[in-house]
Amino acid sequence: SEPCNTTMGAYKFMQELYRHKQSDVMRYLLRMRCWEYRQTDKIIRVSRPSRPDRARRLGYKAKQGYAIFRTRVRRGGRKRPVPKGATYGKPTNEGVNQLKNQRSIQSTAEDRVGRKCGSLRVLSSYWVGEDSTYKFYEVICVDPNHAAIRRDPNIRWICKATQKHRESRGLTSATHKSRGLGHGHTFRMTTGGSRRAGWKRRNLVSLRRRR
């Protein structure tokens, strides 16, 4: 039988490298990169993606109109922001410490970059590292007013007004996961497109008028 061909391109090699994060190469690389990321600002624009293979799979192109921002978010669950743990409510809502956020840390990263760069559109984001305190993400942003974007038929859809702050409305890949869509029959509350659409369909009384 023919021997299998084990050659691969550069992007495929990088993809396989990130699948083995506990290898000596990746452990050293991520440790050095996380040290560098900790020294920079919370949100900073970078000249090129740290993971070009991942960025390109998510739609990034190395041309005018695209920008990469790196951000960090504190790890861990969500503590309820109340004074001295006093929630002033029913006992079922007394919890303060062992709460979990409804949205992922990655969606929080996209949200912060989207607020910081209000004139840009958030396309997607990807993980680049983490340490004991932070998770680091790079967010792909697109300038909807740039001529190179408006002329490109593959990306001009993001110039529509309906794509404004898509990261805040659950339209990006990371934020879409917390909407409960497409998770099977146990997620009945989102049947029909969204939580609000399901509620409206169940609670609206439609009576046919006889004319």
**What tens digit of pLDDT does each residue of 97-109 get?**
999 999 999 999 9
- pTM over 0.85? The answer is yes
C-alpha span between 147 and 207 (Å, rounded): 50
What pLDDT score does 72 carry?
97
Tens of pLDDT, residues 21-60: 999 999 999 999 999 999 999 999 999 999 999 999 999 9
Whether 1 shows a pLDDT value over 70: the answer reads no
DSSP the chain: -PPPP----HHHHHHHHHT-TTSHHHHHHHHHHHHHHHHS-SEEEESS-S-HHHHHHTT--SSTTEEEEEEEEE-S-B----GGG---S-GGG---SSB--SS-HHHHHHHHHHHHSTTSEEEEEEEEEE-SSEEEEEEEEE-TT-HHHHT-TTTGGGGSGGGTTGGGTT-SHHHHGGG--SS-TT-GGGTTSSHHHHHHHHH----PPP-
User: Which positions ≥6 away from 163 have C-beta within 8 Å?
Assistant: 121, 144, 157, 171
Taking the CA of residue 191 as centre, how many other CA atoms within 13 Å lie in the half-sphere pointing to its CB? 8
pLDDT band at residue 3 using 50, 70 and 90 as cut-offs? low
Tens of pLDDT, residues 54-69: 999 999 999 999 999 9
The end-to-end CA distance of the chain, in Å, is 78
Q: Which residues pair with 150 in a beta bridge?
A: none
